[in-house]
Amino acid sequence: MKFRGLSYLLLIVALQMAPRLCGAYETDQFTNRLNPIADSTAVLDEQVNLAIAEAIADWKGRRNDWKVVTAIYNDIGGHHWVDKIERWAMNSEEVERLQPSRYDSIYRGHPLWATRVAALFGVGPTIKVNNQLIGSDKLGHFLSQGRKFYRRYLKYQDEAKAAEHSAYTERALFGQSTTGVYSNADLVANYEGFLFYRSLFEDNIIAGKPAILLWTGEDWEIQRSFTWADHVNEYWDEALNVNHFDNLLYPHMKERMEQFCPDYFEAPEAWDVENEAYLQERYKNIQLRDTSELRLSNLCVAPAAGEGFTTAAPVGQSN
């Protein structure tokens, strides 16, 4: 009861902050997953490459890497809850989206005290990038949280130490404490944004590729184009890299996920993670939580002939 009382208190805080939290939504890559949508990698690549070109256009003065980073961020990132590129992806006719309503999403039907902010704001859209389904919010995490990650890295020169605050944001007011959700995929997008900012100036941050920019001694030159395909993978997808849920939300989410087992049996390949060992190694320092028991490949048990599907035996999830 004490734990639930704390959650009610946090919910009240979230309600009071509602005008500022207009972009604080969860996303849902379970609902309508089997509905095909167009891949938006090319149009999103264009937005970033235009921002990079604009950041160095008519450059004056000495080399200043942080000035380049800030110019890109000011162009397509932003100081508000929904970054400019994210808002563009949510509204552009060039980007096809899956948009379940709050009444159809994976968060539907749960008590308010369990879902908290997710129940209030519904879910954001899902888009396809590098052939992966991702929440549009991940674009903002990549640019804004990635920039903060990069700034901490420059301060500490220690990737694991820089990652600590990124994980803290998922545990604290704008993560699990108010939503019940610790998003592994958010942490992945934050980290990939950090790698993007490093790759502007450093060779081989993207394996086998030079830095995007080259300082000639007087000016910047673009050596290669940016592409989201260098960064987006299965771990950006919250149906594959499933969120960690607190004890209030976990039983409701597990029960809801089991309702997607028919979709899983229809197209199990849509729920596969390739190169799992590589991804685990890539993200070993960013404090992902193991939620593999909630993947449908583990949660759903194939039905015997003439029977309906069953689910795996309950597995507890620790906080």
Q: Which of 188, 220, 289, 166 is nearest to 58 (CA)?
A: 220
Separation of alpha carbons 143 and 192, rounded Å: 9
Query: Would you say residue 45 lies in a domain?
Result: yes
319 domain residue, yes or no: no
Position 318 in a domain: no
The number of distinct structural domains making up the chain is 1
Each residue of 286-312: pLDDT tens digit? 999 999 999 999 999 876 555 555 565
- pLDDT value of position 23: 43
- pLDDT band at 216, cuts 50/70/90? very high
**Euclidean distance between CA atoms 318 and 244, whole angstroms:** 9
Which pLDDT belongs to residue 107?
A: 78
pLDDT digits (tens, 9 = 90+) for 104-163: 888 776 655 445 555 556 688 999 999 999 999 999 999 999 999 999 999 999 998 888
d(CA 309, CA 305): 10
Q: What are the tokens at 223?
A: 């050596």
Residues 211 and 45: their CA atoms lie apart, in Å, by: 16
221 pLDDT band (50/70/90 cuts)? very high
Q: Is pLDDT of 49 > 50?
A: yes
216/241 Cα distance (integer angstroms): 41
Q: Which domain holds residue 174?
A: 2-311
Query: What is the DSSP secondary structure assignment for residue 33, as one 8-state letter?
Result: T
Q: Which residues of 190-201 are buried (b: 16+ CB within 10 A; e: fewer)?
A: bbbbbbbbbbbb
pLDDT of 304: 56
- The pLDDT of residue 82 is 81
201 contacts 213 by C-beta, under 8 angstroms = yes
pLDDT tens per residue across span 87-104? 999 999 999 999 987 678
How many Cβ atoms sit within 10 Å of the Cβ of residue 74?
14
pLDDT of residue 301: 83
Determine, yes or no, domain membership for 122.
Answer: yes
Beta strand pairing call for 310-311 and 300-301: antiparallel
Alpha carbons 152 and 157: distance in angstroms, whole number:
8
Residue 12 has pLDDT above 70, yes or no: no
Strand, helix or coil for residue 311:
strand
Instruction: State yes or no: pLDDT of 211 exceeds 80.
Output: yes
Flag whether 317 is in a domain.
no
Q: How far is CA 71 from CA 143, 148, 201, 230, in A?
A: 12, 14, 15, 21
Please report whether residue 316 resides in a domain: no
Per-residue model confidence as pLDDT tens digits over 167-200? 766 555 455 555 678 899 999 999 999 999 999 9
pLDDT at 117: 57
- Higher-confidence residue of 16 and 160: namely 160
